[in-house]
Amino acid sequence: MTQSTSETETRHKAPRITLTQATHFLLASNAGRQRAVSDCSKIIDFNTYWSPMRNAIASVHQTKIPNLQELIDETLKQRGRKFENYTIAARSYSLTTDSLGLNGEKVKRLQSNGFKPVLIIGGLSISVNPEVVLAGDKIYIQKLYFGKDIPMTEVVAQQIMALINWSIIPENESMSFLNDVWRGKVFQQSADQNASLERLTLNCKSFVSISDALKRQSGAA
């Protein structure tokens, strides 16, 4: 799937959200989608919150530590809200890399010419920010989902992974995983990425429709 010229030209007009916000919308019930769209107006810097964890994971892979116990121990030094969240994330990541055999893989920092940081799909602009990109025989991309109250579903996970794969400019074969951190469940991309992108396109159009309706309501108030 490629971006059309019309989508590229209207980038500045498209509502823009993060991949995390898109995930929350996709997981919301029909009744809860309006609130999910409204919540996107709140400024939450997820990148800053999780950047120390991403950096720690990158450091582990760069030094080829045989297991991630040291990473887990390091998170115990954190304070405040990050204490519990970082500890759970580190343990989950350790189990994931063990099960996938990726402990020896090196982190690859994809440059701007290898990764599209923002995509427009269904009239919605989404910033793509997978937590971990590992380079071995394939490019392994892992997105971490930290939702405590709502479990990840297979259908939503496939849509997120399809979007992430679409953002990679083909160099090597890629494989995406989505890690439901709080439940220790890992989803792996399916072979039929097009079906997931088509489903995501419809959901993005729904987001834009709800967003436009909320703006009209706000203007009439």
Give the contacts of 193 (CB within 8 A, at least 6 positions apart): 161, 162, 165, 166
Under 8 Å between Cβ of 186 and 179: yes
φ, ψ for residue 204 (rounded to 5)?
A: -65, -40
* Eight-class DSSP state of 168: B
Instruction: Please name which of 89, 82, 70 lies closest in space to residue 144, comparing C-alpha atoms.
Output: 89
Give yes or no for residue 113 having a pLDDT over 60: no
Q: What percent of the chain has pLDDT over 90?
A: 25
d(CA 81, CA 18): 21
CA proximity to 59, closest of 106, 99, 98, 91: 106
Question: For the segment 173-211, what is each residue's pLDDT rounded down to a tens digit?
Answer: 678 888 888 887 889 888 888 999 999 999 999 999 999
Compare 129 and 136 and report the one with higher pLDDT: 129
pLDDT at residue 220 in the model? 62
> pTM for the whole thing?
0.78
More confidently predicted of 164 and 220: 164
Give every strand in the sheet of 106-107, ordered side by side: 106-107, 132-135, 139-145, 174-180, 185-188
pLDDT at 103 over 70: no
Q: What are the CA-CA distances from residue 150 to residues 29, 82, 103, 156, 215 (Å)?
A: 10, 20, 29, 12, 27
Task: Kindly report, residue by residue over 9-53, the tens digit of the pLDDT.
Answer: 444 467 889 888 999 999 999 889 999 999 887 655 555 677 777
Query: Which ranges of the chain does DSSP label H, i.e. alpha helix?
Result: 5-9, 19-27, 33-39, 46-62, 69-75, 81-100, 154-167, 193-220
Structural domain for 171, as ranges: 5-220
CATH code, domain carrying 167: 3.90.320
Q: From CA 72, how far away is CA 54, in angstroms rounded? A: 13
Q: Which two tokens stand for residue 105?
A: 């893989």
- Average pLDDT taken over every residue of the chain: 76
Looking at the structure of the chain, the number of domains it has is 1
Angle between helices 154-167 and 19-27 (to 10 degrees): 150
**Average pLDDT, integer, range 154-162:** 95
